[in-house]
A and B are shown apart, each in its own frame.
Chain A
């Protein structure tokens, strides 16, 4: 093969890996969007809560040597639980129109969780169980890593599961009703607080999957990725259009793919700078995101 062709294969390979991994970003972005859609508020704790879930799963792995699938499940449910707690501590009792107070409270919770994780782990990364990390599918010149494929499959399953709950269940109907017209929903007998709590837990569940998959795909869970993952989740949801779930999916894949391109050409240290630049490009040229509406009437 010529050098050019080799390089082409390498680049497409790296983009493909990025797309697979991008599903975790999509999940985090969906979580931000779900909560923004429901309450018109940013839950800054979201990514930290997702990683906290993954740490609970990791504890099960470390102390009772739980098998990987169980670790993933525990991560998801623990994160869902943390999501519920975050709702109660940072959103439930703060007046609905006070966006600043809720924002600040959730930033407080972000640092609270971050500090607990940093202190209990001494700030060092820990081994996280993965599945199918010794499998490699050959596809012509391309190789598909088994663990990445697994991450991809799990995240897709998580998204499909969420969409099913949102659009095919009574619970999802209530969630969507509250997000579109909370007063009217209340008048129809929907308990807004309960519905919001459920939305937070649903989002938390997804986040836990994303947290566990993020860790599984690199084999370690590091306390240093809390803020970067928060920022990346925010970027994905803004690029996709805040509140838009399809937008978050597309943007997650876009960020995942491009991130690996930046990684390929510029190295790991500079990678995230270019992802941030991508956000600025969107803010300047398409501030409403890919799927944001452009109708201007107030």
Chain B
């Protein structure tokens, strides 16, 4: 049972990761750096509960705000590059964050052991849930409260004028500017919101996994993040959820018998899907938006 609860938690966390890429894609920005914001949320929240001994809720929110803070500052230079150049820039950002945590060592004595991030050895003993006697059910519920909250907010936003403005920017930047939409504000806001959501996901991940290290937050994780909305489509937030359930629940679990070789199948699956249905995996409005998002590179 606890195994399936763990899987349910993972699905919830990956849904948050996918949604952080989803909101960016609405504005026509394809980011392969979401793993970076996820890592910032994970390490920040972990440090707050382990070293500063904060309760989970403030630690989690602080983690999300810290991730959003960095996303805000990434948003401005990201404005200068589009399409494939943005992909390269965000990969570089994700790698930079990973290398930062690869180098980060912040050990404090706690009783007769030391706790905190230990660079290459990773960050162990993020034991808030265990130490406070949470059951697996309670942890799962806690994770999903945030998933549902974020999904509800995004669903509602999409029905509001703000959602229409996000999509307008994704569809045609020049036209959006010409009807008076402040491109900088909208794109940076989307980036910040994406960072916030990824930060929540990372904070939850650190505490459910109890152990994180830099190898968790690679380009592979960032690829998962964009795969969900690409598979699920940009028509609604539920597409992302369905895609996560399909990939993490059905596919990864169904291929459990392959053991460590599962990632190979993930690679093959992407190649096959893109060849067989290059734009048919998603509805037409999604594929148009995405095509424009990676259009031509160049810094323009």
| A and B touch in their complex, CB below 8 angstroms | yes
Q: Which one of B81, B83, B92, B102 lies within 8 Å of A99 (CB-CB)?
A: B83
Instruction: Kindly state the interface size class of chain B when it binds its partner.
Output: 35 or more
Contact present for A280 and B81 (CB under 8 Å): no
**Any chain A CB within 8 A of the CB of B295?**
yes
Taking CB atoms, residues of chain A closer than 8 Å to B87 are 42, 103
Number of A-B contacts (CB under 8 A): 149
Taking CB atoms, residues of chain A closer than 8 Å to B268 are 108, 112
| Secondary structure call for the A interface | helix
C-alpha spacing A117/B156, complex, angstroms: 45
Q: Which one of B80, B264, B291, B297 lies within 8 Å of A242 (CB-CB)?
A: B297
Q: Which one of B263, B278, B295, B298 lies within 8 Å of A115 (CB-CB)?
A: B263
**Any chain A CB within 8 A of the CB of B300?**
yes
**Any chain A CB within 8 A of the CB of B42?**
no
Binary per-residue interface labels of chain B (208-231) against chain A in the complex, 1 for a CB within 8 Å, 0 otherwise: 000000000011100100110010
Contact present for B99 and A103 (CB under 8 Å): no
**Any chain B CB within 8 A of the CB of A253?**
no
**Any chain B CB within 8 A of the CB of A19?**
no
**Any chain B CB within 8 A of the CB of A68?**
no
Known contacts A107-B270, A272-B95, A284-B80: A279-B89 contact under CB 8 Å: yes
C-alpha spacing A89/B295, complex, angstroms: 21
Binary per-residue interface labels of chain B (61-105) against chain A in the complex, 1 for a CB within 8 Å, 0 otherwise: 000000000000000010011011101110111011001101100
A157 CB, nearest partner CB in chain B, Å: 29
CB closest chain-B residue, reference A278? B92
**Any chain A CB within 8 A of the CB of B294?**
yes
Lowest 9 CB-CB distances: which A-B pairs, in order? A108-B270, A287-B299, A112-B267, A101-B278, A105-B274, A111-B267, A108-B271, A101-B274, A99-B294
Q: List 30 A-B contacts (CB under 8 A).
A: A90-B271, A90-B275, A94-B278, A99-B291, A102-B274, A104-B230, A104-B274, A108-B266, A108-B269, A108-B270, A109-B267, A111-B220, A111-B263, A111-B264, A111-B266, A111-B270, A227-B95, A231-B95, A238-B88, A269-B99, A272-B99, A276-B96, A279-B89, A280-B93, A280-B96, A283-B299, A284-B80, A288-B298, A289-B299, A292-B298
- 7 new A-B contacts, CB < 8 A, other than A42-B88, A110-B267, are A90-B275, A99-B294, A107-B219, A231-B219, A276-B96, A280-B96, A296-B300
